[in-house]
Amino acid sequence: MSYFRVTDEQVSEFDEHGLLVVPGLLNAEETELLGRIARADRDLVASSYGRADGEGGTVKLLVENEVTDDFYGAVVRCERIVRNVERLLRDEVYHWHHKMILKEPRVGGAWAWHQDYGYWYDNGCLAPDLASCMVAVDRATRENGCLQVVRGSHRLGRITHGPVGDQTGADPERVAVAVERMELVHVELEPGSAVFFHSNLLHRSDQNTSNHPRWAFICCYNTRTNSPYKETRHPEYTPLDVLPDEELAGVGHDQLRTSPHTGSV
C-alpha cells in the first residue's frame, strides 16, 4: 500500500498559501480506530477543559506536551505526517504538542482569529518554523464550525496578539484588513482527511450550531534548529521515533484489545 507523500508542487503550494489539504490522509480503518478510541477514552473526556471564546461559547480541548504511549502518540509519530512536515518545513521536526478538539453539537465554542506563532513566540521559539497537521475525526463543515483560514496570511509575519475571552487572538484591526484583501477559505474535511498549516497562518473557527459533533486531532511540530532558547511548558528538541505507516492501525487495534475504555495502553 502506498501512503501520502508531498510532491514538489505541493511544497510550493504550501509556501505560497500556508496550507495544504490532503484528502484521506488516514485510511478508513485508521480513521475509525481514532474515533472509537477517542470516544471511549474516559481520561480524555474527564481531563479536557474549556476555553471561553468571548462570544458566549466554550471550546473543549485536551493538550499533551509529551509523546504519549497510545494511539494518539502513534499518529503523532506516523511517518506520513512527520516526513511530510519535514518536507514542508525543510528541516527535521520533533513533537511540540498534540491536542484533541471536542466541539460538541450546539454547544461547541469558537476559536478567535489567531496565529499559532502569535503565542508560541513567547515559548522561546526564535522563528515561526513550526507547523500543524489537523486530522478530522468527524466530518468538518461550515455548520459545525470547521477551520477557516486566510490564504497566504503566513507571509504577513507575526501579528500582535492579546486576550479574547480565555483565548489569545490576533489584532482585530489587522485581521479585518487581511480578510478584506486576501481569500477567506472554509476548510471542510471528511473524516480522516487533513490539513497541514504554517504557524503564522491566520485561522479561526465558528461555534458549532449544528446537531453534529466536530472532533479534530491536531499534531504540532517544531523544527530541530528552532528548539526553544528557554525552558517553557513545551519540550526542547528530542528526536522522534518515527512509526512506519503500515504499523499505525496495529497500534490502535492493540490499544482496543488491552484497554478499550481508557486513553492509555
Is the pLDDT confidence value at 229 over 60? yes
Are 103 and 144 within 8 A, CB to CB? yes
Identify the band that residue 265 occupies on the pLDDT scale cut at 50, 70 and 90.
very low
Do the domain assignments include residue 265?
no
What pLDDT was estimated at residue 191? 98
What pLDDT was estimated at residue 167? 82
* Residue appearing with cell numbers 479585518: 176
Total domain count, the chain: 1
CA atoms within 13 A on the CB side of 170: 29
Judging by beta carbons within 10 Å of its beta carbon (0-12, 13-18, 19+), is residue 257 exposed, middle or buried? exposed
β-strand pairing of 147-150 with 93-103 = unpaired
Q: d(Cα 255, Cα 258) in Å, to the nearest integer? A: 5
Do the domain assignments include residue 263?
no
Do the domain assignments include residue 1?
no
Q: Output the CA torsion sign for 123, 25, 189, 74.
A: negative
Is the pLDDT confidence value at 31 over 90? yes
Do the domain assignments include residue 219?
yes
* Residue appearing with cell numbers 504554517: 198
If one counts every other C-beta atom within 10 angstroms of the C-beta of residue 207, the result is 20
* 22-26, 141-145, 147-151, 258-262: range with lowest mean pLDDT: 258-262
- Top-confidence residue, 240 or 259: 240
- Indicate the pTM of the whole model: 0.95
What pLDDT was estimated at residue 261? 64
Judging by beta carbons within 10 Å of its beta carbon (0-12, 13-18, 19+), is residue 160 exposed, middle or buried? exposed
Q: 98: closest CA among 127, 71, 128?
A: 71
Identify the band that residue 201 occupies on the pLDDT scale cut at 50, 70 and 90.
very high
Identify the band that residue 21 occupies on the pLDDT scale cut at 50, 70 and 90.
very high
Tell me the residue range of the domain where 149 lies: 8-257
From residue 73, give the alpha-carbon distance in Å to each of 58, 120, 175. Answer: 26, 21, 34
DSSP element (H, E) containing 196: strand 194-198
Do the domain assignments include residue 192?
yes
C-alpha cell at 84: 511530510
Do the domain assignments include residue 2?
no
Q: 201: closest CA among 133, 103, 258?
A: 133
Do the domain assignments include residue 84?
yes
Identify the band that residue 202 occupies on the pLDDT scale cut at 50, 70 and 90.
very high
What pLDDT was estimated at residue 111? 86
Task: Quick: pLDDT tens for 135-157.
Answer: 999 999 999 999 999 999 999 99
Do the domain assignments include residue 111?
yes
- Sheet of strand 214-223: strand arrangement: 19-22, 194-198, 130-136, 214-223, 93-103, 58-64, 49-52
Is the pLDDT confidence value at 161 over 60? yes
Q: d(Cα 166, Cα 253) in Å, to the nearest integer? A: 37
Query: Which CATH number belongs to the domain containing residue 181 in this structure?
Result: 2.60.120.620
Q: 88: closest CA among 154, 185, 37, 180?
A: 154
